[in-house]
Chain A
Amino acid sequence: MLCEECQMNEAVFTVTLTSGDGVTRKHLCGECMKKWEANLADGDIHSFLSSILSILGSAQKTDDPVCSGCGLKYSAFEKSGRLGCAQCYHDFADKLTPMLKRIHGNTQHNGRTPRAMQTQADAAAQAASPEAETPAPVPEISPVEKMREELRKKMDEAVACENFEDAAKYRDQLKALMDDGEVQA
């Protein structure tokens, strides 16, 4: 199972805590166990307490939501880049939606639906107006003839900004395309 502290590594230690309410067992990975022990050894009573509190699950930071489906903390997702379950998408929606927008430029799915849901989805699509964002235009990159023109423009811009290092780079690239010359193997 995963470490209950960081939700990232395999848990290899079991910590038993005795408190007023009885006995609680927590499963930790090597790293978190080490941190925990270091806090104890340092006599750092403050972090010792806070680590106990967080282990007991009663000291959740307000800006670090926890998924109700799998118990993953948002901060653990930020570290690993991996979500824990489908419910994460809903419980972290406030933070995930802007992130999805940054990655994809879009937040509304516009592709296939599972076969089992297709009839259902068709009916829904007819009932509601489609809220899909417009897809990006069909891409076009400069063909061979335009390559030189573009390089020349970039070189002029670089010179205008007195960015001579870049200008020299573009000049070399341009030269490689202009030379009637040799092919270096």
Chain B
Amino acid sequence: MANSHEIAVSGRIRLARNYHDLPFHNQENAATCLKRAYDALHNYTEDLYTLHILNNMSKDERLSLMEEHLISADLLKNAGTGAALIRKDRQVSIMVNEEDHLRIQAIEVGGGLEHAAQQAFQAEEILEKVCGFSFDPKFGYLTSCPTNTGTGMRASLMLHLPMLTRYKQMGNVGQNVAKLGLTIRGIYGEGSEALGDLYQVSNQVSLGRSEEDIIQAVTAVGKQLIDMESGLRDRSMKRAPAELKDAVMRSYGLLSYAITMDEKEFMQHWSNMRLGIALGMVPTPLSTSDELLTTAQNAHVRHFAAKREIASAREARCEWIRECLNRA
């Protein structure tokens, strides 16, 4: 049986919160919200958080934060008023003026949702010191969109499921998961695409269940998906080891020696390589592959290309991947 972090890439807790004395996010109260959040983190944490005001950043700087999952696409849309307060270890980020006044988010490598929740609630407690949040005894935390009402919590696991994808089981899995008030979707790519065979399983329901129940449900389903994936990996290793190894090593070869590569092709080979690392075929640490998942994306490699004066982002991507693989 595989270690769970060989399949669970990361876990994330997100809390939606609104200040009790203001209407939900609008142009007029945006500055007040930012000031409150900044003051709280500045005064009570000795500058543990760095302020990023989207308006003062280049497009690629913003996209880089999104590639790190520290800000959302919706915050980018609100770039005029949007800001993020990011903890220096980059495990906690607070988006200000997204759909709600605050979106508190904690990320945990390898998936531990309980620890991520602890971190998120710790940040919430600090933010609450300056001004309390909109709350109703019946409906719970009040949010701009009714899909987040109640706990305002979204708990999610990012899972790498190449074998379930290869054996065309994701449709089934999706149906089963939906019955339980949870949802699973591809993280990268458009529509039903799931580039890199990466999926996010998260709670759909936020009202009527406690935070602990939600975390438990997502963790339980995550564990079963991990067991299914891991079962299929064992089965393939027993029945068709040569074919599996061939797919992995071809991708590893391309990542090691190719000169140019676009994001889509990268994601495909990345998935095979990560599978190979988990199965002990490729001598790269898992942490290096997961770092590449962020740093070989478009905005990051454009930055790298500019720094090294490399002609194209696609060439820079290959250069950067090689550096990371050789470093290991």
- Cβ of B67 within 8 Å of any chain A Cβ, yes or no, is no
Q: Judging by beta carbons under 8 Å apart, are B243 and A183 in contact?
A: yes
Q: Does B38 contact A (CB under 8 A)?
A: no
In A113-149, the 8 Å CB interface with B consists of 113-117, 121, 124, 132-133, 135-136, 138-144, 147
User: B interface, how many residues as a size bin?
Assistant: 35 or more
A143 to B225 CA separation, bound complex (whole angstroms): 8
Residues of chain B within 8 A (CB-CB) of A83 are 24, 142-146
Decide: B207 and A114 in contact? CB cutoff 8 A. no
Whether A10 is near chain B, meaning CB under 8 Å from some CB there, is yes
How far, in Å, is A78 (CB) from chain B's closest CB?
11
Residues of A within 8 A of B209 (CB): 106, 110-111, 135-136
Q: Determine if B135 and A111 form an interchain contact, defined as CB atoms under 8 angstroms apart.
A: no
Give the CA-CA distance A20 to B138 in the complex, in Å.
46
Asked if B208 and A104 make an inter-chain contact with CB atoms under 8 angstroms apart, the answer reads yes
B209-225 to A contact mask, C-beta < 8 Å, 1/0: 11101001100110011
Residue numbers in A under 8 Å from B167 (CB-CB): 173, 176-177
Residues of A in contact (CB 8 Å), total 56
A47 to chain B, nearest CB (A): 29
Chain B residues whose C-beta falls within 8 Å of the C-beta of A184 in the assembled complex: 166
Contact partner, B217, options A82, A138, A150, Cβ 8 Å: A138
- Of A124, A135, A150, A180, which contacts B172 at CB under 8 A? A150
User: What chain B residues lie within 8 Å of A142 (beta carbons)?
Assistant: 176
Contact B246 A185 (CB under 8 A): yes
- Asked if A138 and B205 sit within 8 Å, CB to CB, the answer is no
Q: In whole Å, how far is B267's beta carbon from the nearest beta carbon of chain A?
A: 14
Q: Which of A26-34, A38-46, A51-59, A95-103 makes up part of the contact surface? A: A95-103
Q: Which residues of A contact B90 (CB under 8 A)?
A: none
Evaluate contact between A105 and B208: CB separation under 8 angstroms.
yes
Q: A106-B209, A109-B140, A142-B176 are in contact. Are A86 and B146 (CB under 8 A)?
A: no
Selected contact of B139 from candidates A109, A141, A185, CB within 8 Å? A109
Given contacts A84-B23, A141-B224, contact A183 B166 (CB under 8 A): yes
* Nearest neighbor of A169 in chain B, beta-carbon distance: B171
Q: Which residues of B contact A82 (CB under 8 A)?
A: 24, 99, 144-145
In the complex, are the beta carbons of B146 and A103 less than 8 A apart?
yes
| Contact partners of A140 in chain B: CB under 8 A | 180, 220, 224
A contact residues vs B (CB 8 Å cutoff): 1-2, 10, 69-70, 81-86, 89, 96, 99-100, 103-117, 121, 124, 132-133, 135-136, 138-144, 147, 150-151, 172-173, 176-177, 180-185
Shortest beta-carbon contacts, A-B, top 5: A106-B208, A109-B140, A139-B180, A185-B247, A104-B207
| Sampled A-B contacts (26; CB under 8 Å) | A83-B24, A83-B146, A84-B23, A84-B26, A86-B134, A89-B136, A89-B149, A103-B205, A103-B207, A105-B181, A106-B150, A109-B151, A111-B150, A136-B209, A136-B217, A138-B216, A141-B180, A144-B227, A144-B232, A147-B172, A147-B228, A176-B166, A180-B240, A182-B240, A183-B166, A185-B247
